[in-house]
Amino acid sequence: MEINHLQDTALRKCSKCFQAKPLDDFYLNTTARGTKYPRPECTACHKVIHAERFQLRKDAWEPKRHAWYMNNQDKVGWSRAATRARRQGATEFLSLEEWIDLRVSTTACHWCGLTLHASFTNIDHVRPLIWGGQHTRENLVLACANCNLSREWERKTAKKLRRAPR
């Protein structure tokens, strides 16, 4: 359902700023029957009202959000890694339980054998995502930052060598 075309030229007075404005300057509400009608406040006033409400509520939920983030580092890391893998083209993904098991069960770097502290670990793809590797338990290992970064350098060098004309 649409507003009558004759109403499009009409002016409406905003209930907040009390200025007469065309109907295009008002958001539309929709009733349960599908009838659309303009909101009482103009879009500019509506945005200001909601921005103020957001700031008031933000002060209340921001500490809770931060506490959840700090208490759920495994979920956050798993979600970020899965998103990155999806963007790189992976079609198979690790479950949260497998992610936690990989982080907890492994204590040494896969490449050099160095004992790892939990805060200095990196999850490394044996076959990189950009080379068609998947984000699965079989393709993921725990590595120290040095090994992970050196493998990145090796991958970039190998990619350049493969692209070089002969």
**Confidence band for 130, pLDDT divided at 50, 70 and 90:** confident
* pLDDT tens-digit map of 2-46: 555 444 468 889 988 999 998 888 888 887 787 888 888 899 998
**Residue 116 located in a structural domain:** yes
DSSP notation for the chain = ----TTGGG-EEE-TTT--EEEGGGSPEEE-TTS-EEE-SS-HHHHHHHHHHHHHHHHHHHHHHHHHHHHHTHHHHHHHHHHHHHHHHT---B--HHHHHHHHHH--B-TTT--B--GGGEEEEESS-GGGT--BSGGGEEEEEHHHHHHHHHHHHHHHHHHHS--
What's the pLDDT at 5?
47
Which residues, in sequence order, are bridge partners of residue 144?
A: 121
Return the number of other C-beta atoms located less than 10 Å from residue 150's C-beta: 14
Q: What is the mean pLDDT of the chain?
A: 84
Asked whether residue 29 falls in the same domain as residue 63, the answer is yes
With 0-12 / 13-18 / 19 or more C-beta atoms within 10 angstroms meaning exposed / middle / buried, residue 42 is: buried
Per-residue confidence band for 155, with pLDDT thresholds at 50, 70 and 90 = low
Phi–psi pair at 60, nearest 5 degrees: -80, -45
What number of other Cβ atoms are within 10 A of residue 78's Cβ?
22
**162, pLDDT greater than 60:** no
Looking at the fold, whether 146 and 117 belong to one and the same domain comes out as: yes
Neighbouring CB atoms inside 10 A of 119's CB total: 6
**Token representation of residue 94:** 């690790």
Residue 141 has phi, psi (to 5 degrees) of: -135, 160
Question: Domain containing 47: what range?
Answer: 7-69
49 and 79 in a single domain? The answer is: no
The percent of residues in the chain predicted with pLDDT above 90, rounded, is: 29
63-84 pLDDT, tens digit each: 999 999 999 998 999 999 999 9
159 & 138 share domain: yes
Tally of structural domains, the chain: 2
Q: Does some domain include residue 118?
A: yes
CB 20 within 8 A of CB 11: yes
The Cα 128–Cα 135 span in angstroms is: 9
